[in-house]
Each structure stands twice: as C-alpha cells, then as structure tokens.
Amino acid sequence: MAEVIVSAIVVVAIVYGREVLMPLSLAAVVAFMLSPAVAWLARFGLPRLLAIVLALSTLVGATLFAATVFSSQIISLTGSLATYKNNLAEKARSLTPTTGGGALQRAIDSLDALQREVEKQTHGPERDEEIRVVVENPREGGVSGVLETVRSVLGPLEMALLTLVYVAVLLAGQYDLVDRVVRLAGVENMSESTAALSTAGERLSSFFLGQGAINLAFGVATGAVLAALGIPNAILWGMAVALLRFIPFIGIFAAAVPPLLLAAAVSPGWGLLLGVLAYFLIAELITSNIVEPVVMGRHVGLSPLAFIAAGSFWWVVWGPVGLLLAAPLTTTLVVLGEFFPSMSFLSLLFGDRPPLTPEQEYYHRLLARDAATAAEALESATRGLPEICDAVVLPALAVATKDFRDRRISAERAQAIADTMREATESVFPVAKPGAETAARTIIIPGLGPIDAAASGLAAAVLSETTGKPCAAVQASTGLLALASLKEEETAPPETLLLFTVGGLARAQMNYMARRAGVLFPETRIMLFEKEEGGPIHAGEEEGRIVRCSSLSRADQLLRLAPQGSP
C-alpha cells in the first residue's frame, strides 16, 4: 500500500511540477552530453568554470544558429505549400482513369468542393465577419491581449533560460551532487555507491554524446542526399531527422514522411519517391546495426514495449517535450537499475536484455512442457553439440533436480520435465531400439530419479552422435539397481561405464556407486560424471581405472581417445 501511495505522489508531482521538472530533466540530459566536453577542456589546463562557460556558449550559439536556419526554412516551405499541393493533386488525378472517374478522382472532387465551400463561408459579407469576430473574441485587444501575447512569446524563452541555468548548476556542482547522493546512500556503502554512480555517469554520458553525434551525422547526411536529389528545403528535413531520431523506433519514420510527400509532389514520376524511400531504409539499417554498435560500444537500449509505455506516459504528462525526453529518461532509469539493487526492477522491466539466462529460459520451457522449443537448441547446434548441452541443457536439468530435491516441484512435475526432455531428445536423434544397451560398448548409468534418467538418455544420444561409437543409457532403473540389472544380463561386459548425474545423487553416493561398479565390472573402465570435479575415489588400483569428468565435452574427448577393447 505504501508503494502505491508513493507512486501516486510521484505521478502527481510530475504532472503539476512540469514547469520545474521538465527543464530540469532536459538539463540533466544536456549535462550528461556536455560533461565529457567539459572534462576534455579541463585536461588542457582550463579552469572548470571557464570550461563550463565555453561549452555552454558553444551550445547556445549552435542552438541559435539552428533556430534561425529552422525558422527560415519553415517560412520558405510555407510560401511554397500551395504549389506542392497543386502538383500532388495533379499527380493523383493522373492516376485515375480518364473515362469512368474512379474512387480517387471522386475523393479529389469532394475535397475541391469542400475547399470551395470553406472559402465561400470564409469570404462572406464583411458585416457577418465583423459580428463573428466580436462574438468569439469579446476580450481581444487591450492590456490582457498584450499580456497574453507576451506570455506566449516568453514561455518558451523562459523554459530555455531555466534549462540553461540548470545545466550550468549541474555541471558546476557535479562532484558536490555526487557526494550528497553517496551520503544519502549511506557512508558504510561508500565504495559501492561511488563506483555505481561513477560508472553509471560515464555510461550515460558516452551514450547520450554518442547518440547525439550519430544523429547529427545522420541529419547532415540526410540534408546532403535530399539536396542532391532535388527535394525542397533539404536543410529543414536534415534538422528534423537529427532531432526526431532521439525518439527510438518511430522517430525516423516521422522524420521521413514529409520528404517522401515532397518527393511525390515535386517529381512527375515515381523514381524520386522510391529513391528517397530507399535512402531512409538503407541509411537507418546501416546506422542502427553497424554504426551505433561500433560508436557506442555496449548498447544501453530499451525494449519496444517499454518505450511505447514510457513514451505514452511522458507524452500525456509533458506533451511533445516529454516524448522527446522519454528515451533519455527511461534509459537513465535502466542504467541506474543495473547498479542499485533497490532499482533493479526498472532495468528488468524497461531494458532490452533477456530477462532470463539461457539455462533459466531452457528450464522454463521444460516446465511449460514445450518439447519443440527444447529441441531447437539441440537442432541448431550442428557444431559444438556437447558445448550446448554443457552450457544450457544440463544446467537447466540441474536446476530442475535441485528444485525437486528441495520440494519446490512435485514428483509428477519432475516426471513431466523428464518426459519433455526425452521427447525433445528423440525428436532430434534416432530413437534407440529396445535392448540397445546390450550392443553398445559404452553404457550410461543414471544416478537417481527421472531427471537423471532423461539426462542420461540425452548424454547417450549426444555422445553416440559426436564420437561415432555406440552409446546407450539404462532407462528401466537407476543407480545401484541399474548396475545390478546390467550385471545379471548374460552379455559381454561393456568397455566403458559412465555413471551420470546432474544432481540426483550426492558426491558420497556417487563415489560408492563408482566403487560398486568397479567390483561388479573389474575389467571395465569407469567414468564418473559430476558437475564438480574432485579427487580420486580412494587410493589403490582403481585410481587409474576410474576417471572423473565434469562436462560432456570432456567425456566426448575421453571416449574418442579410448582405444577399442581397452579399459
């Protein structure tokens, strides 16, 4: 209940404190981007205050220049919109059949009729127009009108100045702010909190600075390419791409729509439109998959669902500025969640890293009885099949065995996991014929329980596939009972016995079973599979005949090197 109340208070503070929190958030992102530049200037002997002033002056100058260019481009585009609209309408009309009209032609005729009606209503008698103006704007003019105009002009300027002040304060008091956060985290945790803040700050600074540099280069390249293709106001679209690309997933599409419409309006054919479309697709694919991983290194990303949720929230509370800040703010929360345990749920919910390790995900598939997905890991491992089992499959079965031993899962669920693993194994490898262990020279004895039995069957199939030597696993029984049943069969003793467990038997029990196997099969080589390697079973002649291995890869090597007919 307390967490819900705190969350509600935070949301209310974000909504009603937007006049302060919005420029503060924007200033934090800008401070992260400028922090490396300030540190770089300080290394050349400049006082930190002078370095901050120089960095802020450069930022303000670049912003004013960009705003001037952006405004001139907007004015130029506004003046030529009518021409582009007529060209686009003519192009649309050329697509409709000359005889019989068509749906598109009827839509254009309806649009023209609607436009004529609007113009007729707009350019009515002068008296009606005056009456309409007086009724809808009874307070227009006077002191209130002037104040409203001044407020509309000074509002963005006020936010820009407040953001600039915040940036200067954050850069100047960077170390003091870090010290205060460390003090809040507790002096006894000073080493951990200092390391976390330092690493998180460096990663965020490099991420935002790298993203800004990439977006700027993308915008310059876009403006140059569009200008070369003859798209009007190419500088405007390059600036729009550089700005909107800060919005993941959808920003590049929003920035590409106006140039595509202009390409359709300017050129009588479709070649220009297809060329602009091809440029945006190719450039975005190269930038996202090649340039960004190389420039920014370790990627701090957001999952698509997380960004949609975060973008929707910030759009509702802060409007377009919130949508622009959604990715930086959420990325900051993800990075902080990686270093502070109390915020780790944020990294799990919003980050794009897999929520489960490969062995945990495989165990989850087994719990869900998804044999098809469980078999995919084996089918995809055309090379290094034992390595895949050692890294993913056997650790997942070991977790299942531990859960069964700790009574987290029932015997029925353990049997279901074993059946799922057996079904996945049989769908990838040929099914062993009944009595196949009598013909195999390597027999695998499961330790204890259904999961060890399923793991033994998997090991037999994998080792038969990789070594080329017939291997089989006893499935009718496990442990000492399996050894006894194998001894009762009137067949030649196997060349190798592999005692196999993923946690069903403890080390002492496995050692006893190994000694018992040495007594029952004195001429047979004994291999003891455990996830942890240990010392010999006991001193004496069995040390040279009993070999431990902790992975299928090692067992594969030992079976390959063993000569035929030798223990």
Give Cα separations from 122 to 119, 169, 364 (angstroms): 5, 52, 66
For residue 48, the Cα-to-chain-centroid distance in whole angstroms is: 37
pLDDT tens for the chain, 567 residues: list them.
665 676 678 778 888 888 888 888 888 888 888 888 888 888 888 888 899 999 999 989 988 888 888 888 877 777 666 666 666 666 666 655 544 444 445 544 554 554 455 455 445 544 444 444 444 454 444 555 555 555 555 667 788 888 889 888 888 887 777 777 777 766 666 776 777 677 777 777 777 788 888 999 999 999 999 999 888 888 889 998 998 888 777 788 888 988 888 887 777 777 888 899 999 999 999 988 888 877 765 555 667 777 778 778 888 888 878 887 887 788 777 777 777 776 777 777 777 677 777 788 888 888 888 888 778 767 665 557 777 787 888 888 888 888 888 888 888 888 888 888 888 887 777 655 545 555 567 888 888 888 888 888 888 888 887 777 788 888 778 878 888 887 777 567 778 888 888 877 777 888 888 888 888 888 778 888 876 544 444 433 344 567 888 788 888 888 777 655 444
- Residue 286 falls inside a structural domain: no
Are 537 and 439 members of one domain? yes
Q: Which of 353, 387, 419 is the last residue of a domain?
A: 353
Split into its structural domains, the chain has a count of: 2
Q: Rounded distance, CA 80 to CA 95, Å?
A: 23
Least Cα distance to 339 among 193, 191, 186 occurs for 193
Does any domain span residue 130?
no
Write down the pLDDT at residue 150.
55
Decide if 558 contacts 545 (C-beta within 8 A). Answer: no
Claim to verify: residue 424 and residue 532 sit in the same structural domain: yes
Pick the last residue of a domain from 311, 334, 353.
353
Query: Which pLDDT value is given to residue 120?
Result: 55
Q: Do residues 544 and 504 both lie within one domain?
A: yes
Instruction: Say yes or no: 406 and 506 in one domain.
Output: yes
Query: What are the pLDDT digits (tens) for 278-289?
Result: 999 999 999 888
Residue 498, domain member (yes or no)? yes
Residues 396 and 467 in one domain: yes
pLDDT at residue number 111: 45
540 and 437 assigned to the same domain: yes
Q: What is the pLDDT of residue 482?
A: 80
The DSSP secondary-structure symbol of 291 reads I
Query: Contact at 8 Å (CB) between 86 and 93?
Result: no
DSSP label at 352? -
Residue/partner pairs of 395-399 with CB below 8 Å, 24 or more apart: 395/359, 396/359, 396/360, 396/362, 396/363, 396/366, 397/363, 397/366, 397/421, 397/451, 397/454, 397/455, 397/502, 397/503, 398/502, 398/503, 398/531, 399/359, 399/360, 399/363
366 with 501, same domain: the answer is: yes
Tokens found for residue 487: 């001894």
On whether residue 434 sits in a domain, the answer given is yes
**Judgement on whether residues 375 and 426 belong to the same structural domain of the protein:** yes
- The verdict on 493 and 551 lying in the same domain is yes
Tell me: do 416 and 554 sit in the same domain: yes
Structural domain contains residue 146 = no
**What is residue 451's predicted lDDT score, i.e. its pLDDT?**
86
Residue 464 sits in which domain range?
361-561
Domain shared by 500 and 484, yes or no: yes
Claim to verify: residue 456 and residue 547 sit in the same structural domain: yes
Report if residue 287 sits inside a domain.
no
Query: Residue 251 half-sphere exposure, CB side, CA atoms within 13 Å?
Result: 25
* 111 found inside a domain: no
- DSSP, collapsed to helix, strand or coil, labels residue 431 as coil
Residue 384, domain member (yes or no) = yes
Q: Domain boundary at 313, 333, 353, which?
A: 353
Predicted model pTM: 0.58
